[in-house]
Structures are given as structure tokens and as C-alpha cells.
Chain A
């Protein structure tokens, strides 16, 4: 493991949420409430063209007729959507030419998060587009990317600079009518990321976005759109932290991926939002819609490490529309204390010879509830579709729950669908064995959990995997003894 014992110890000593600090920056915040004027107001604030305003309003209209879904295996007090402010932007708004111009308070926040932009610039070859309180404030490596014709910018910028691409693809995978929270997002999203990889281009670096919810009482509605043109490749990383807040914060993002013929998109997420305290108070509601569409011979791979949020409701999915396309979903979901997670994927096989793989690792501790919910659907013309699913659950203690809800619908009799599931408990004999070798219980659990999650951790890009391992340990801290 790439971190030192000292670092781990330090982290374990921190009983409160590690990133529970709050940055004091003047914000330009809308009054609470949601109506057509607010939607128009957001669009105006962002200087959007008329077609975008119209699209938002249409989304708002359809959303107004929808109701919040209740089928997930989670219980929570529904957020009052009229008590949320839908726009909050740091005042120092203009784009920066260099880091010197960035608000020092912001830089301090990044430091606490362990994101040294300077270092990242120099060392890792990661271009960072940081979203803070809904507005992108720093974009790096743009030039290098531009040379290859790659567009990596905020969605707001893309709406202005590349309207033809946005217009064509936004809502094409997840229409505003898709579900309640996707509809809400479509109406009020304030920012997010946009990425376009031109034909035949292999993106030379991992594209990375760090999200962060900052202002008390502001929901965050990001919108991400990634388009990989024919024969291109991109690996996209998304990592998140949030300061601790007593009131629940709503987060309803939409991520759309489009992999055109022969393209490949690898989308990795490490999610570490405030999970609420030990009594289950506070914490982020994470209601996210993520979906990608695969054209002929293309591939979309979702990898997620979910450790945060009080309530998670998230199903990164693949529509395997093209023949010979491939969808993958690798997930680790950790719940502790009173956290609830209902997460999984949908693999919709429409094209011939399509293939999908699902590896889901659920780890439950404390009084938490962890559910896997997955759908494998094979359409009538999806000849020779194949799916392999593996859902493993690891339980710690006697008060948590692990649930698996696999749905399989096959309309073509050439389909081959396999589903494997296991449930295990961390054994006292395993802990004692580690103890006997001089490894304390906390560290022993970290070791066992990392071993359990290995197949998924291995799918993450290197730097991310290290971060994810740390997160697993922090998340399960205090879950025994």
C-alpha cells in the first residue's frame, strides 16, 4: 500500500468527517425556491442562448408533473425542493490565466482536500477541471488537450462555445423526462463538465474533475456530458468531497456518456460526500442518474467507489445499442453507521453480440443498509448477448443489512446470462490471525476489506486506487470494537 502507517494512524484518529470544513467565500446566491423564473434566472446568469433556456423550461414543465420515486430500498425525509437555493457562484467569477489569480481561500480548500493543482500539473499528467459551488474556477492542461482537438471545459462554456455538440447530445441518453431527479437537474443544472474526444484520438491523460458542495443549503446539480467520437478513447475521473453540514444536502447530478462507433470511455468515480454523523444526522442525499450509450463495437466502463452520502441512489448504466458493443460496471459501495445505499446498474442489450460484465462489492457496517439493484435486459434482436454478474456482500457486525435485487429480462433465446452472488462476514478468526501477526484490528479490517474489493480497485487508475483504498479505511473506521 502506498501510504505510510503514520498517515493512516492520523486519519484514524480523526473521528469527525475528515473534510468537514467550510470555505468562507462571498457567494452570489439565489433566494430559496423553484419556479419558472428561477429556471430562467439560472439560464440568464449563465449567459445561455435562447435554445438552452427553452430546453430547461421544457424540462421544468415535465418535471413539475412528476413525483419522487419510492421504489428504492432507502428511507429518508424527502428534501423540500422549495427550501433550496438553486444558484450559488463564487463572486470572483472570471476564468484565471494562472493560479495566482485564484481566490486564496479556494486554494486553501484544495490544499485541505489534498489536491495540489501545482503538483498535479507537474507530476501526474492529470488535467483538472474543478467545480466548486457549481461554477468552474480553474481549468488546466487545456492547451495540451486543444492541440489534439480535445474539448474539456465546463458545460456552461460548452453551451456557448460548442452549441452544435451540446444541442445534439444533451438529453440524448437521459431525456429530462427519464426520472424525477434527472428532470430536476435538466431544469436547474448550474454547471458541470463537458468533454469531446475527436475521431481516432486517444486522450493522452486522465481527465479529472473534483466536485465539491460548499454553500450551506445549496443543492448541487451538475451536468456532465462526455462524447467519444469514432475510434477515440478517454479515461475520465470524478472525485468528490463535501464539508459537513447539519441539514441534508441534495445532490442530483446527471452524467451522459456517448461512445460512437469503436470508441471507448472509462469513467471512474470516487464518492466521499458527508455521510452524516454517527447518529445518522445530516449527510448528503445523492440521487444521481448516470448512463452511457454504446454504438457499434464501442465500450463503456463504469468504475465506482462509493463511501459517502447518507442516502445513495445511483445506477450507472449502459445502453448497448451497437453490435459488438461492451458495457462494464465495477462497483464498491461502503455503508457505515446509518448510511443507506441502493446502487447498481442497468445493462440494456439491444445490439447483436453485445457483452456486459457486472462486478459489485457491497460492504456494510454499523446500522447501515446496502442494496445492489441491477437489471440485465436482452432485447429481441440482441442475438448472442452475454452477461456475467457477480455480487458479493461483506458484512461487519450484526446490525447492518445487505440486499441484492437482480432483475433479468431476456427476450432473445440466444442470450447467455450468468449471475453469481456471495455473502460473507469478516470472521473473528481472520481478525485474530492478523492480530497474532502484530496487526491491530482496525488495520486488519482495512486489509480484509481491501482484499475483498481488489477486483474493483484494480480497475481504477493508479493514483485513484490509492485514494480509494484510503477512503475505504476511513469510512469503516470505528466500525468494530
Chain B
């Protein structure tokens, strides 16, 4: 589904990514772990199409399509979804209105008519239930005055509504208490199928107890320094990031 080859990127002239290779297939869950400042969020922003970052080398292909030729909204139409680490507030725009606009924009890009209101309502109810979201929440202004947990739950709610083929969860566990974490993880697991893929970006291992990855990659200083299966996450948790720093310093 997603192939990243030798990706180099910089922001304001500062190199952040220094050669990333990643191959994500349909039906897989990949976890990308790493200490702060290793380039995790830069990678997710780049895949989503944030123009603050500049690709200096390498490429990203989604089902063979070169992503650098697509705007952020076109990438969304292609099925890329980013669950933001810091979702923005849009005052006066309700959660429902926002998701309706997003769904219809995506349908329009595919040449499909607007979703009928009854179908939309049914879907909203179904997905809200899946994520234990109160109906009152849906009429609130998008992210305005939301707690950290509410923001993240709202991101996953949007993911559930939009049914993307590639979801990137950027630090979705931060700001979540254990109950909220379980609800969110449970939602993500239920949305998983053989045709979609998920990239989970996290600092800590605890989210991976609930969303079990097929592959774990450790990012350090703009490079993937180690890849493995879910056991790698446990190893990392036990040994700490200093272990990775040491590995990196030995040029592995």
C-alpha cells in the first residue's frame, strides 16, 4: 500500500529525516517508535502532505502513485488519514457539520453524490456508539474546549466515519487515561480489516498492548535504526531509548 524509499526531508534548512525506508501492506499494522525529536511526527506530516516540510531526496508511493504529486486533500481522497497529535479548534463548526463536510468532499472527489442525511445520521450514531461518544458531544464546536482525551476520541471518530485505507495515528495515546485508551484502541481494532493499513506512532509501548502491531520500527535521528515484530517494543520498553542511542552510535 505505502512504500517509502530513501526519504530525506528538512524544515527551514534543517535535515530531519535522513533516509527512511518503509513498506506497509494492506492488512498490516506498523508501529513507529522513537524518542522525542527523532522525526516521528515529521514523517506523519510528510505522508499527509504538510507543506512545511521539504523532501530533498527519495519518494513516497501510495499504491504506486507518487504522493509528492498530490495535495493534502487529494491524498485524503486517496484514503490517507492522519489522526493529529494536536487537533486544531474550529470555533462555531460542530463535530457533525465538520464530518459531514469532510465526507461529502471525499464523495465529491470520487464523483459520488452527497451522503443522504438519513444514512449519515445512521452512520454517525453507529460510530459514536463504537467509540462511546455522547450525542451532545457531536453538536459541540470542533475541538473547542475539548479535553485531551475528547480530542483524540474525536480523531478516531472521524477516522471511523471516513473509512480510510491508510491511517496514521500520531501519538494518539498521549493525553489519554487508561479507560479512554482502551476505548480508542478498541475502536481502532474494530476498524481494522484486510484492506486497510495502520501506522501507529508512539513514544510508549503501552498503546501497543491494545493495538498489537505486526511490525515495529525504531526511529532515531531521522533514520529507522531497528525493525522487528511486537517483541521489539517490549525490548525497547525494558531497555529504554538509551539502548537505541547506543545502537545508533555504533552505526547500526
Chain B, range 59-105, C-beta contacts under 8 Å to A: 71-73, 75-77, 80-82, 84, 87-88, 90-93, 97-98, 101-102, 104-105
Asked whether A5 and B108 contact (CB < 8 A) given A432-B72, A440-B73, the answer is: yes
Task: Compute how far the CA of A447 lies from the CA of B92 in the bound complex, rounded to whole angstroms.
Answer: 9
Question: Is the CB–CB distance between A430 and B158 below 8 Å?
Answer: no
Residues of B within 8 A of A435 (CB): 49, 71-73, 76
Question: Is the CB–CB distance between B73 and A450 below 8 Å?
Answer: no
Question: Is the CB–CB distance between B93 and A436 below 8 Å?
Answer: no
Task: Compute how far the CA of A436 lies from the CA of B91 in the bound complex, rounded to whole angstroms.
Answer: 18
Number of interface residues of A (CB under 8 A): 25
A451 contacts B by Cβ under 8 Å: yes
Residues of B within 8 A of A429 (CB): 88
Summarize A's interface: helix, strand, loop or mixed: helix
Residues of B within 8 A of A448 (CB): 90, 93
Question: Is the CB–CB distance between B90 and A451 below 8 Å?
Answer: yes
With both chains docked as a complex, state the minimum distance between the C-beta of A435 and any C-beta of chain B, in angstroms: 4
Residues of A within 8 A of B72 (CB): 432, 435-436
Task: Compute how far the CA of A451 lies from the CA of B101 in the bound complex, rounded to whole angstroms.
Answer: 13
Question: Is the CB–CB distance between A437 and B90 below 8 Å?
Answer: no
Asked whether A430 and B88 contact (CB < 8 A) given A436-B49, A436-B72, the answer is: yes
Nearest A residue to B51 via CB reads A432
A4 contacts B by Cβ under 8 Å: yes
Question: Is the CB–CB distance between B106 and A438 below 8 Å?
Answer: yes
Residues of A within 8 A of B108 (CB): 5
Residues of B within 8 A of A104 (CB): none
Chain B, range 149-172, C-beta contacts under 8 Å to A: 158, 162
Question: Is the CB–CB distance between B105 and A437 below 8 Å?
Answer: yes
Chain A, range 1-31, C-beta contacts under 8 Å to B: 1, 4-5
Task: Compute how far the CA of A443 lies from the CA of B76 in the bound complex, rounded to whole angstroms.
Answer: 15
Question: Is the CB–CB distance between B102 and A439 below 8 Å?
Answer: yes
Question: Is the CB–CB distance between A437 and B93 below 8 Å?
Answer: no
Question: Is the CB–CB distance between B158 and A437 below 8 Å?
Answer: yes
Number of A-B contacts (CB under 8 A): 78
Question: Is the CB–CB distance between A452 and B92 below 8 Å?
Answer: yes
With both chains docked as a complex, state the minimum distance between the C-beta of B95 and any C-beta of chain A, in angstroms: 12
Task: Compute how far the CA of A476 lies from the CA of B29 in the bound complex, rounded to whole angstroms.
Answer: 42
Question: Is the CB–CB distance between B71 and A5 below 8 Å?
Answer: no
Residues of A within 8 A of B106 (CB): 438
Task: Compute how far the CA of A437 lies from the CA of B48 in the bound complex, rounded to whole angstroms.
Answer: 10
Give 1 or 0 for each of A425-467: 1 = CB within 8 Å of chain B CB. Answer: 0010110111111111101000110111111000000000000
Task: Compute how far the CA of A439 lies from the CA of B114 in the bound complex, rounded to whole angstroms.
Answer: 14
Question: Is the CB–CB distance between A440 and B105 below 8 Å?
Answer: yes
Question: Is the CB–CB distance between A451 and B48 below 8 Å?
Answer: no
Question: Is the CB–CB distance between B82 and A436 below 8 Å?
Answer: yes
Q: Which of B82, B93, B114 contacts A447 (CB 8 A)?
A: B93
Task: Compute how far the CA of A429 lies from the CA of B50 in the bound complex, rounded to whole angstroms.
Answer: 9
With both chains docked as a complex, state the minimum distance between the C-beta of B220 and any C-beta of chain A, in angstroms: 26
Question: Is the CB–CB distance between A427 and B92 below 8 Å?
Answer: no
Question: Is the CB–CB distance between A450 and B93 below 8 Å?
Answer: yes
Residues of B within 8 A of A433 (CB): 84, 87-88, 90
Task: Compute how far the CA of A441 lies from the CA of B104 in the bound complex, rounded to whole angstroms.
Answer: 15
Residues of B within 8 A of A439 (CB): 73, 101-102, 105
Q: Which of A4, A430, A438, A453 contacts B73 (CB 8 A)?
A: A438
Chain B, range 118-174, C-beta contacts under 8 Å to A: 141-142, 158, 162
Question: Is the CB–CB distance between A438 and B102 below 8 Å?
Answer: yes
Residues of B within 8 A of A451 (CB): 90-93, 141-142
Interchain Cβ contacts under 8 Å between A and B, 20 examples:
A5-B104, A429-B88, A432-B72, A434-B90, A435-B71, A435-B76, A436-B75, A436-B82, A436-B84, A437-B102, A438-B73, A438-B102, A438-B109, A441-B73, A447-B101, A450-B92, A451-B92, A451-B141, A452-B91, A452-B92
Q: Give me 11 other A-B pairs in contact (C-beta within 8 A), A5-B105, A435-B49 excluded.
A: A435-B71, A435-B73, A436-B49, A436-B80, A436-B81, A438-B73, A438-B106, A438-B109, A441-B73, A447-B98, A451-B141
Report the 4 A-B pairs with minimum CB-CB distance, sorted nearest first: A451-B92, A438-B76, A435-B72, A451-B93
